[in-house]
Amino acid sequence: MRIYFVLMRFSLVAVLSAVVDYIVFVGMYLLFSNILYGMVASRAVSISFNYLVVKRMAFHSEQPHLRTLPKYLLLALISGTCAYFVIQGLVRDFHLNVIIAKMIAESIIFIVNFMVQRDF
């Protein structure tokens, strides 16, 4: 049960972070028609929210920020880069709408991020 509660808390924070991320991404994409600009802007905004809330509410971590933040930023950089390339591939190869492609990419990366953040 404890594992499921952690996953439920993490999922709730992820949904809230995703809403923030999607709003910024869509806004930037509509302004610039550029996936990279949208990804960088949306990640920059949602990272701040997600890091603090996941650390405190989902995992109840008491580790110092100097220890956890660099690892979190590295994970965010790696997952954001992976998401960018998956989105690009889905748009280019399958002619999907950018917003749909982003939803698919971020859904795939969600579980991996949970496992990495839980352990590190």
Residue 25, pLDDT score: 97
Residue 117, pLDDT score: 75
HEC string of 93-109 equals: HHCCCHHHHHHHHHHHH
Q: Flag whether pLDDT at 118 surpasses 90.
A: no
The identity of residue 112, as a single letter, is: V
pLDDT digits (tens, 9 = 90+) for 27-74: 999 999 999 999 999 999 999 888 888 777 767 677 888 888 898 899
